[in-house]
Amino acid sequence: MAAKGDLPVARLLPSGVAFAADYRIGRQNATIGGQRRAMANQNEIVAIMARLLVDGQRSLFIMLGDDGSISRMGTGRVDKRQDELFVGKTDAAMFQGLRQQIGPELLDWFGKQLEDTQARGKICELTVALKYADGRESATAWRYGTESPGPPPEAVQFVIAAVNTTNPWFEEFRSMSRSSRA
């Protein structure tokens, strides 16, 4: 069971549980065949998006572009819903660092939507998407419960890296927003 305030995406699988055992695979994304080519040249990725919904409510949204554009909403925590979307520009190094976290294990999930057929707790929907320089887009999505096994470790680690990478900018922007309202 997830502790109050835990990131629902941050729960790792219990030992001995096979990830795909209780999941059904949904429709396939048309770009799945191109993912290996994209991995061969990570520089083709120009935008990264991660979104987490908990019980249909936005809990986390992160979008980073190779031009330094950034959008962030929420922390991903179940008990601390935040509706303010902060949009701005940052150093492109933030995007480049996160892009380096995209490995072949994560890309193997792209083009798939997976759903826990026995989800327990609040329903979570995690989507991670990439946009390529040639306009292609590819995504992977998971639907699971807060009290059931979540996405595989490589997806969890990537979303946590996205949160940690964008947190300094997000906290600074949020602090400035609070100050301007005071």
pLDDT of residue 77: 80
CATH topology of domain 32-181: Mago nashi protein (3.30.1560)
3-class DSSP state for residue 152?
coil
Instruction: Give Cβ neighbours of residue 154 (< 8 Å, ≥ 6 apart).
Output: 103, 105, 106, 109
Domain map (residue ranges) of the chain: 32-181
Per-residue pLDDT, 174: 81
User: pLDDT tens across 86-105, in order?
Assistant: 999 998 999 999 999 999 99
- Which residues, in sequence order, are CB contacts of 18 under 8 Å at separation 6+? none
109, burial (CB in 10 Å: exposed 0-12, middle 13-18, buried 19+): buried
Q: Which segments of the chain have a pLDDT < 50?
A: 1-7, 9-40
Q: How far apart are CA 64 and CA 152, in angstroms?
A: 22
**Tally of CB atoms within 10 A around 42:** 15
DSSP assignment of 74-108, as one string?
--S-TT-----EEEEE--HHHHHHHHTT--HHHHT
List, in sequence order, every beta strand (DSSP E) within the chain: 23-25, 45-54, 57-65, 69-73, 85-89, 113-116, 123-132, 137-145
Say if CB 49 and CB 126 are below 8 A apart: no
pLDDT score at 129: 95
Half-sphere exposure of 91 (CA within 13 A, CB side): 8
What pLDDT does residue 66 have?
95
